[in-house]
């Protein structure tokens, strides 16, 4: 199980700065910097106020796919890290394109 820290405050999966999505997918096929990546699992909580995540049963990410071929942590489309950080440059992200993987390291 991977622990995913999240500072995207308005993501429906974020509870107390931890991501509780069962499955997370990081995209950015030819990324050279972390800003070229995104968390495609981002869901804006304003559109999903009744959206449930796995925080109630304390289940964190069980599947972390990485479609960033240029990341040193990508091991066959799976992130090899045990701890990962998802973040945003925006105060309030409106789309997954405003999120990025803070743990990305280019090969």
Q: Looking at residue 2, what is its pLDDT?
A: 72
66 exposed, middle or buried (CB, 10 Å; 0-12, 13-18, 19+)? Answer: buried
Name the domain count of the chain. Answer: 1
Which residues form the domain of 54?
3-101
With respect to residue 106, please indicate whether it lies within any of the assigned structural domains. Answer: no
For 37-85, how does the pLDDT look when each residue is reduced to its tens digit (9 = 90+)? 999 999 998 876 555 555 555 666 678 899 999 999 999 999 999 889 9
Residue ranges with strand state E in the chain: 3-6, 14-15, 18-19, 23-27, 38-39, 63-66, 83-88, 99-101
pTM of the model: 0.85
Bridge partners, 15 (sequence order): 18
For 85-99, how does the pLDDT look when each residue is reduced to its tens digit (9 = 90+)? 999 988 899 999 999
With respect to residue 76, please indicate whether it lies within any of the assigned structural domains. Answer: yes
With respect to residue 107, please indicate whether it lies within any of the assigned structural domains. Answer: no
| DSSP structure class, residue 92 | S
Task: State the SS3 of 28-49.
Answer: CCCCCCHHHCEECCCCEHHHCC
């Amino acid at each position: 199980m991977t622990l995913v820290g999240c500072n995207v405050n308005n993501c429906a999966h974020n509870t107390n700065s931890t991501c509780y999505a069962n499955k997370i997918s990081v995209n950015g096929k030819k990324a050279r910097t972390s800003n070229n990546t995104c968390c495609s699992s981002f869901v804006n909580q304003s559109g999903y106020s009744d959206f449930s995540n796995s925080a109630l049963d304390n289940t964190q990410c069980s599947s972390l796919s990485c479609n960033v071929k240029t990341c040193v942590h990508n091991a066959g489309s799976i992130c090899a890290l045990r701890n990962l950080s998802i973040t945003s440059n925006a105060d309030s992200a409106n789309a997954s394109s405003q999120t990025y993987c803070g743990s990305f390291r280019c090969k």
